Every structure is written in structure tokens, then in C-alpha cells.
Structure 1
Amino acid sequence: MTEWDGESLARLRAAAHRGDGRAGLGALRGRPLAPVLQYAGDVLVFALATRKTDTEPHTEPDVEPLARACLDALNSRGLPGDAELAADLAAALGGRPAPPLVPLPADLGAVAAALDDGGSLLDLERGDVVPAEEADDSDRWLPIPPLPLPEGEDARRGAARGWLAAQGYRPVPRTL
């Protein structure tokens, strides 16, 4: 099994950011899921959704076994955000309905950084994270409180996902 090097991790991050399940699958193949469960879960949800909407024959036969392995690992690990992602992954696999969360194109890395620092707001229309002084007086802003975050990129991403879910939101890919 090949470990995660900088280039492979960058490919996985980019696929998760774009919502590109196929590219994410390519980055996951032959590598351990444990260090990247949050990214893996995201790209597997996208890959499963793509599979259901493709008009051409699906060429990703390993998506379901990978998704089930990721689901088991998320359920076993139980870090902040893992339960929320596991619920989305189970829904994508057809195991249960998705939680009733509002989709928001928020960057989990930006939300995690804001949770680490505090003093930022989340734009509930666009998903942008901005300093509090840059916001207008509209009601589209959600204050992001400072919270203690776990160590590691994957755990911080999960903590951001957990915080968003507690506010009633599910992160979805950002589009231009």
C-alpha cells in the first residue's frame, strides 16, 4: 500500500474541493483511508452521486467497497464530524436518508481556521468566511466562535463539519 505524499494529498484535496468523485477515487486507490477519512468520505459521496446520475456505463467498480470501508472507519473512529460524514456516506450508499441539513458551499479548511481564531463570520448565502468587520448589516452572517480544535488537518476538517452540522448546515462543493 502506498502512503500519502504531498502530491497525492494535494490531488485528493483538490478533488474534494471540486466535488470530483472520480479524481478523488484515483487519489484514494492503493492508499490508506485512515489518515484522510474526512476527505475520503467527501469524494466517495461525490463518486456515489455521480454513479447514480451517469448516462454512460460506470467504470468505478471499487467505489462501493471503498465507501463501505470509509463508513466503517468513520463509525469506529468517532471524532468530531465523523458521525455527520458517516450519515451522508450511508445515505449515498442507500442505507438511510440523509440528515435534514441545509447545503452550504463552505470551505471546511476556512471554517476550521476561523474556529481556531474566532472573530470571523460565515456568509450563509455564499459560504465565504470573512472577518467580522467586513460584513454588512444583513442577517446572512453566522458568527464563528473560537473553539479548541484537535491536531491534524483531517481532524480539524471534521471539527468544522461537526460545527456546521450543529448550526444546521452540510458542506457542499464550491462552484464558480
Structure 2
Amino acid sequence: MRGLLIALLAGLQSGDGAVPCRLDVPAACRDTNTLVSSDGFDAAISAFLGDRRADFLYKDHSVAEQATDVLGGPPDVPTRIGPYWRFTACRAHSCGEKGAVVLLPSGAIVAVAILHSRCALPQPGADCFAHDTLTLFVRAAGPDVIRNLRSWGEDQARVGRVAGLRATTLDAVEVVPV
């Protein structure tokens, strides 16, 4: 009887015993989408970025909302930067705009990156799509994180070329302390 009870209790546990993706356990997240859809992610991004507004994807819009948008499309597999976890994705239906969030193993956000064009700026110019800027919001992120995000932004701008259009260039990297 005791063996049957143990077997029943074991069957009630999650199938493989894996920890579900949560902000405070980034190692359990298989990709950026699972992280972004986890409980508390939106609140953490909003707390990290505050009430800043910018013209990255939309004119005079919340930076936190724009960051969530660029992290909510087709996801990448997370990568490590030393002890940190880097999660990246691109904006749904506009993959030239990309985002990254860097977390400590505890889930604390240390950096958020938004790769964006000039197209949301006033008078953006006809070739605005070809001029990318990487804006990094950082708190307690060391030089390795900033170098990694800069390299990631350069790579993403290079592969963001659209057939028949002018090649995309990374024109600027902005570092904003948070």
C-alpha cells in the first residue's frame, strides 16, 4: 500500500522534474519567449527602465513597452556571458528591430538592449531602415556585458540586410546608466 501511495505521489509531480521558466531561475528558460511570458517579467522590465520614453520603435513611447516588443518575437536560445544569461529576440513582423536582456543567475536585470533604426524619429529620411542604433540600458553590468552586447548588435545589424535595399549599418551605440 505504501509503495502504491509513493507511486501515485510521484505521478503527480511534473513529468521530468524540471523547474519551470521563471525570471528568478533564468537557467530554466529554454528561450526568450518563455522568459518574456513568465510571471513578473513585465514588472521587472518596467522597474528597471522606469518611466523613460523614446522614439525607438514608436514616437514618444514607453521604453519598457518597446523593450518588451523587441523581446517578444522570434526568440533565440539564451547564451552565457560569464555568470550572466543573455536572452535575445526580434520584434514580431519586424525582425530588423531586436532586443536583449541580460540577467544575473538570480534573475536580476543588469542590462537591456534595443537595436532600432531611425524610422521612428521625426524626419527619419528615406533610408532610415539602413541606419541602426544600439541603445544599452545598464546597471551593474561590467565591461564584458557591454562588449558582448555591442558585438551582438554589430552582428545583428550586419545580418539585418533586406534584399534589394541598402545595407544596414550600426551607426551608434548609446550606453544609458540606469
TM interval, shorter chain, is under 0.3
> Which has the larger strand fraction?
2
TM-score, normalization by structure 2:
0.27
> Which has the larger helix fraction?
1
Which has the higher Rg, Structure 1 or Structure 2? 2
TM-score, normalization by structure 1:
0.27
